[in-house]
């Protein structure tokens, strides 16, 4: 095992390295840009670029790339070498400030949602100095934003950075009213990442996994997750070796990989880093997902990040732990010992409550995807209805505020195990709620609706913007107040009363909750296709405009991109299922029933009844007939989809026609599978994939 403190961040051009290799004034100028957004001079960028290059070259690096996050949800890179020709036919390694600051990838093949005609191909990447450069696979990667020639935003990082700015601006104003001078407020995120690992040699035999990331067929295996023996279970040697390799790779990239454990479903695991600045945490999570896949390959495994690779067992999510703090690390959602008396905490808490209630639709859109639709509302994932859990203690505090009655704190209780040798301890004032989509967990909120493959940028853009919007309103209301403390308390009360409907501390998985949520007027956007149109609602366009996050055109183009991506994903699933039906399942069923029929024939000649063969052939034939019909219906549904032009119509059609046709075909396929002999099966089963 390597020396971890030495290994950690060894591939990152971070603060420590910057301090060591940059001349002092240059280092100071760079830090000022990173910490307070001060303008960076080109002469400074030149020195930084050169030092960055020298540092990288010493580590064997030959190329650099502007690393960016287009709307595909994954990252993009185009490598350029450092070589610069010199007279005499020689070359030198060179990297200028200009190359560091600006790149010009062709933007025409990235999703733009009609924002840009294809002939207007120019796109620019621009250095984000607030997220450190790093070396990945021998390439110096520079985190950048991505814009079109006419300045439209084509990526996830730009709006995220803008939303961070909006939070800071509004929160600094509010803190000032509390007499707290601070230059910057940031949001922090710790994303818990769930994933599956399956053997590569089995994975490649399943076209559904290869093309779509999820199984489109597959009867349940005899054993699933019902014994609860996987969650936190001892980690097998094979997986353990993977995890330790993965940790090392992440540590080298300065990613604070901290917690690992087996998850609920068989072959499912989780990795959680220590939280950090949302911008960097987002870059790190994108990197984490990439490294997870790469390391798996080295171990003969495939890392599945799809939200629902297997029907009937838990899907994979990504819990977005979120808080808001000063740059110095003063967490504004820290209730302290006496939350009831902590006006600052209550005001920020009220802001989050109002933000979530006001923007349920946008939060739902931010986690919407074809894949996550299979996860939300099933097997231990929150439903599509957004509500907030605050816990017993805070619920009582909020209750007291709303009714204007005094709050009596419950005494801290200690917990005795009843075993002499085990020390008693003071327990938390509130239990956890695992069913809530948006739960307060002590000093942060945990947004649990994100899917495992989601970029966390989307959800955090919405959270930041929504909270910034409420905080701006708070600052406006309180800045002129004669008695700040009284005005703040009144505002907290007013907000808590107005948004009480969003708080729900009960069981979110219970069907009764969905009924109650409807009577409370909470949104229930069951599918992604239902959710997308809300993104471009007039009040949302106005919200984004108010905080300089997106223009109306950008909102509309993003809506279209999401709808297109949804329809394309489902279309690929339909084509894959149709192909597997025709090329794998049908031939397997026909071959096996043919073998049985032959045997029946031979037995008949011997005057034997062949009852079993005949019964089985009949059973298979009946299902095959329906299977073939369902396949034809699916083909027809795809033809129907291809006749539609508008992205919104395509998405709705996929939800209403394609997905039902797909499940109908699957149902017959999954009935056939258990009837076939093991050696007659067309591909590895759920049992093979999950219990290897």
Residues 6+ away with beta carbon under 8 Å from 363: 356, 386, 438, 447, 449, 459, 462, 463, 466
Pick from 659, 674, 690: nearest CA to 212: 659
136 contributes a contact to ligand ADP by CB under 6 A: no
Contact stretch for ligand ADP (CB under 6 A) within 7-15, 62-70, 185-193, 222-230: 185-193
445 contributes a contact to ligand ADP by CB under 6 A: no
Burial 548-574 (b: 16+ CB within 10 A, else e): ebbbeebbbbbbbbbbbbbbebbbebb
194 contributes a contact to Mg ion by CB under 5 A: no
User: Beta-carbon neighbour count of residue 430 at 10 Å?
Assistant: 19
307 contributes a contact to Mg ion by CB under 5 A: no
Q: Site residues for ligand ADP, window 329-348 (CB under 6 A)?
A: 331
- Residue 185 binds which entry of Mg ion, ligand ADP, none, with Cβ cut-offs from 5 to 8 Å by kind? none
322 contributes a contact to ligand ADP by CB under 6 A: yes
323 contributes a contact to ligand ADP by CB under 6 A: yes
Q: To the nearest 10°, report the CA torsion of 52, 55, 58, 60.
A: -50
Tell me the sheet residues that pair with 68.
Answer: 76
Q: Please answer whether residues 386 and 436 qualify as being in contact, where contact means their C-beta atoms are separated by less than 8 angstroms.
A: no
Tell me the sheet residues that pair with 80.
Answer: 64
274 contributes a contact to ligand ADP by CB under 6 A: yes
Q: Residue 62 or residue 331: which is nearer to ligand ADP going by CB?
A: 331
Q: Residue 93 or residue 331: which is nearer to ligand ADP going by CB?
A: 331
Contact stretch for ligand ADP (CB under 6 A) within 38-46, 273-281, 392-400, 476-484: 273-281
259 contributes a contact to ligand ADP by CB under 6 A: yes
CA angle 346, 351, 353 (to 5 degrees): 90
443 contributes a contact to ligand ADP by CB under 6 A: yes
Q: Residue 146 or residue 322: which is nearer to ligand ADP going by CB?
A: 322
Q: Spell out the alpha helix ranges (H) of 263-359.
A: 278-298, 343-358
- Residue 200 binds which entry of Mg ion, ligand ADP, none, with Cβ cut-offs from 5 to 8 Å by kind? none
192 contributes a contact to Mg ion by CB under 5 A: yes
**Separation between Cα atoms, residue 279 and residue 117, nearest integer Å:** 30
Residues 6+ away with beta carbon under 8 Å from 109: none
Cα→Cα distances 350→125, 361, 496, Å: 38, 19, 6
The least distance separating Mg ion from the CB of residue 270, rounded to whole angstroms, comes to: 6
Q: Residue 71 or residue 381: which is nearer to ligand ADP going by CB?
A: 381
Contact stretch for ligand ADP (CB under 6 A) within 269-277, 463-471, 539-547, 656-664: 269-277
The least distance separating Mg ion from the CB of residue 275, rounded to whole angstroms, comes to: 12
321 contributes a contact to ligand ADP by CB under 6 A: yes
Residues 6+ away with beta carbon under 8 Å from 410: 392, 393, 396, 429
Number of residues interacting with Mg ion: please give it, by CB under 5 A.
1
272 contributes a contact to ligand ADP by CB under 6 A: yes
The least distance separating ligand ADP from the CB of residue 273, rounded to whole angstroms, comes to: 6
The least distance separating ligand ADP from the CB of residue 475, rounded to whole angstroms, comes to: 22
Q: Contact residues for Mg ion (CB under 5 A)?
A: 192
Binding site for ligand ADP (CB under 6 A): 188-190, 192, 259, 272-275, 321-323, 331, 443-444, 446
């Amino acid at each position: 095992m390597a020396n971890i403190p030495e290994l950690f961040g060894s591939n990152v051009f971070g603060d420590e390295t910057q301090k060591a290799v940059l001349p002092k004034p240059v280092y100071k100028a760079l830090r000022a840009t990173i910490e307070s957004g001060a303008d960076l001079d080109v002469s400074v960028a030149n020195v930084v670029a050169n030092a960055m290059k020298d540092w990288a070259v010493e580590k064997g690096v030959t190329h650099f790339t502007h690393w960016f996050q287009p709307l595909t949800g994954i990252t993009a890179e185009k490598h350029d070498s450092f070589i610069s020709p010199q007279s005499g036919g020689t070359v030198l390694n060179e990297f200028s400030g200009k190359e560091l600051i600006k790149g010009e990838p062709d933007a025409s093949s990235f999703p733009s949602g009609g924002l840009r005609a294809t002939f207007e191909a120019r796109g620019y990447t621009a250095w984000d100095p607030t997220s450190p450069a790093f070396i990945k696979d021998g390439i110096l990667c520079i985190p950048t934003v991505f814009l079109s020639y006419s300045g439209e935003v084509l990526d996830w990082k730009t709006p995220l950075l803008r939303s961070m700015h909006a939070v800071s601006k509004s929160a600094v104003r509010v803190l000032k009213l509390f007499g707290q001078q601070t230059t910057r407020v940031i949001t922090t995120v710790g994303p818990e990442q769930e994933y599956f690992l399956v053997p590569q040699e089995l994975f490649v035999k399943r076209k559904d996994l290869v093309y779509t990331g999820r199984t489109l067929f597959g009867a349940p295996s005899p054993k699933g997750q019902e014994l609860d023996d996987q969650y936190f279970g001892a980690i097998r040697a094979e997986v353990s070796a993977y995890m330790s390799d993965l940790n090392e790779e992440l540590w080298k990239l300065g990613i604070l990989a901290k917690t690992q454990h087996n998850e609920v479903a068989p072959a499912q695991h989780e990795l959680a880093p220590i939280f950090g600045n949302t911008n960097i945490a987002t870059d790190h999570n994108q990197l984490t997902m990439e490294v997870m896949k790469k390391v798996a390959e080295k171990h003969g495994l495939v890392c599945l990040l799809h939200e629902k690779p297997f029907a009937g067992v838990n899907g994979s999510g990504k819990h977005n732990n979120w808080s808001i703090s000063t740059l110095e690390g003063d967490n504004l959602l820290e209730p302290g010992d006496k939350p009831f008396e902590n006006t600052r905490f209550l005001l920020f808490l009220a802001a989050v409550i109002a933000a979530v209630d006001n923007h349920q639709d946008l939060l739902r859109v931010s986690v919407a995807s074809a894949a996550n639709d299979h996860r939300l509302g099933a097997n231990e994932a929150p439903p599509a209805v957004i509500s907030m859990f605050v816990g017993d203690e805070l619920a009582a505090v909020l209750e007291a505020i709303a009714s204007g009655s005094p709050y009596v704190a419950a005494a801290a209780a200690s917990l005795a195990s009843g075993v002499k040798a085990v020390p008693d301890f003071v327990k938390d004032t509130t239990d956890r709620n695992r069913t809530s989509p948006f739960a307060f967990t002590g000093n942060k909120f945990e947004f649990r609706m994100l899917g495992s493959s989601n970029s966390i940028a989307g959800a955090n853009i919405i959270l930041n913007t929504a909270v910034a919007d409420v905080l701006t309103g708070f600052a406006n209301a309180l800045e002129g107040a004669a008695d700040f403390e009284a005005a703040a308390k009144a505002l907290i009360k007013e907000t808590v009363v107005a948004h009480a409907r969003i708080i729900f501390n009960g069981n979110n998985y219970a069907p009764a909750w969905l009924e109650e949520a409807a009577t409370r007027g909470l949104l229930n956007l069951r599918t992604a296709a239902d959710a997308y149109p809300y993104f471009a609602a007039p009040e949302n366009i106005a919200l984004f405009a108010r905080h300089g996050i997106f223009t109306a055109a950008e909102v509309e183009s993003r809506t279209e991109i999401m709808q297109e991506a949804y329809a394309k994903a489902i279309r690929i699933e339909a084509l894959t299922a149709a192909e597997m039906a025709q090329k794998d399942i049908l031939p397997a069923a026909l071959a096996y029933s043919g073998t049985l029929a032959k045997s029946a024939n031979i037995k008949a000649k011997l005057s034997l009844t062949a009852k079993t063969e005949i019964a089985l052939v009949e059973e298979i034939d009946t299902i095959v007939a329906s299977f073939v019909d369902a396949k034809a219906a699916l083909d027809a549904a795809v033809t129907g989809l291809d006749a539609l032009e508008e992205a919104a119509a395509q998405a709705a059609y996929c939800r209403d026609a394609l997905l039902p046709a797909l499940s109908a075909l699957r149902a017959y396929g999954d009935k056939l599978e258990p009837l076939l002999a093991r050696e007659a099966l067309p591909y590895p089963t759920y049992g093979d994939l999950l219990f290897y």
